[in-house]
Structure 1
Amino acid sequence: MHLFSENLAVEIATYYRNVALGHSVVPKVFTLVNGSGSQYLFFIDDLQMERADEDQFLAYIVQEHDAVSYSRGTLVIVEKNQQYIEFAVVDEDDSEAIVCSAELTRDMDDKPIGLSEFEKILVKRESIVFGHLYDPVKLSEEKIEDFESLWEEMKPKILHRTMGV
């Protein structure tokens, strides 16, 4: 597993802890890191796309930015009183991925008040719904132009920084 993937798992766990407990939100997040350590993070809901288009766009971004690892996270609601923040980190060169899960506790007003430690397990990459983003994607020229335009439009909202190794 690439060092960026391990670092990304720790970082995303901290990110979710901060936004859930500090800001009372649990966004659907996508982030990737390329070989030079540039990281891009954005909210998936900002895409406002159907799931199939969303997957194509994310695959396009992963490939266009030469990602060595990427992560996608979300809130999973089993029942009103049983909620989890879950994310997976997928590495380009590894058949296994890191999956992390932590239980979220809310108060009577539905405000997040507690988050357990993230438990980390390794799973086969193909078992993850979005574990296929490294697979080559065939897009029409029109779709590529749309995705390039969307990326440019999103740039002001995207967290971009260089990860330390």
Structure 2
Amino acid sequence: MHLFPENLAVEISTYYRNLALGHEVIPKVFTLVNGEGDQYLFFIDDLPIEKEEEKNQFLTYIVQEYDAVCYARGTLVIVEKNQQFIEFAVIERDDSDAIICSAELTRDMDDKPIGLGEFEKTLVKKGTIIFGGLFETIQLSEDKIEDFHSLWVEMKSKILHRSMGL
């Protein structure tokens, strides 16, 4: 595991803690970091795409188009009403392992987040993660590539972009 995935895991943990406890929202998050240290982060639900398969194609396009070295995807997992977790995975291009992070979310009687446990990190094989294959090359039509490029340009105003530095 290299520096970017480890740093990204710490950063996404803090990001989710702030969103859940400070803003009472737990969005589906996607972020990537490229070789120059540029990071892009956005909410998956902001994508104007209905089908999950097409969302994954778009994310694959972005990972490949921006030459990502690692990416992370996170969400709320509801086991039961009183058992909820925020989970995310960090996947690195050149590593067969990935980092899975999970923390239990506690809500009050009004269903507002009031507590978030510590994120526990676990190393797993990249191939065991449902969305762990975004580095795998896919063939897209020229029209689809143009649509995805236009969508990315349209979303730029909603995307957090910063440099993680080298």
**Structure 1 and Structure 2 fold alike (TM over 0.5):** yes
Deviation at 1:2, TM superposition (A): 2.0
Give the RMSD, CA atoms, in angstroms.
Answer: 0.6
- Give the total of aligned pairs: 165
User: Pairwise mapping of residues 5-154 of structure 1 onto structure 2 (< 5 A)?
Assistant: 5-49=5-49, 50-154=51-155
TM-score w.r.t. length of structure 2: 0.98
Deviation at 1:48, TM superposition (A): 3.1
* 1:83-137 alpha-carbon deviations (Å, 9 max, x no partner): 0000000000000000000000000000000000000000000000000000001
Where do 5+ consecutive residues of structure 2 fail to align?
none
Aligned residue for 1:36, secondary structure, equals coil
Query: Once the two structures are aligned, what percentage of the paired residues are identical?
Result: 74
Deviation at 1:164, TM superposition (A): 3.4
2:162 matches 1:161:
yes
* 1:6-27 alpha-carbon deviations (Å, 9 max, x no partner): 0000000000000000000000
Q: Is the 8 A contact 2:38 2:163 kept in 1?
A: yes
What is the CA–CA distance in structure 1 between the aligned matches of 2:117 and 2:2, rounded to whole Å? 26
Amino acid paired to 2:16: Y
Where do 5+ consecutive residues of structure 1 fail to align?
none
What is the CA–CA distance in structure 1 between the aligned matches of 2:2 and 2:55, rounded to whole Å? 25
What is the CA–CA distance in structure 2 between the aligned matches of 1:86 and 1:96, rounded to whole Å? 17
Structure 1's consecutive aligned runs of 4 or more residues displaced over 6 angstroms after TM superposition are none
What is the CA–CA distance in structure 2 between the aligned matches of 1:99 and 1:146, rounded to whole Å? 31
What is the CA–CA distance in structure 2 between the aligned matches of 1:8 and 1:105, rounded to whole Å? 24
TM-score w.r.t. length of structure 1: 0.99
What is the CA–CA distance in structure 1 between the aligned matches of 2:56 and 2:125, rounded to whole Å? 19
What is the CA–CA distance in structure 1 between the aligned matches of 2:138 and 2:66, rounded to whole Å? 14
Structure 1 range deviating more: 97-106 or 47-56: 47-56
Q: Is the 8 A contact 1:103 1:115 kept in 2?
A: yes
Aligned residue for 2:59, secondary structure, equals helix
Aligned residue for 2:12, secondary structure, equals helix
Q: Is the 8 A contact 1:87 1:100 kept in 2?
A: yes
What is the CA–CA distance in structure 2 between the aligned matches of 1:44 and 1:52, rounded to whole Å? 13
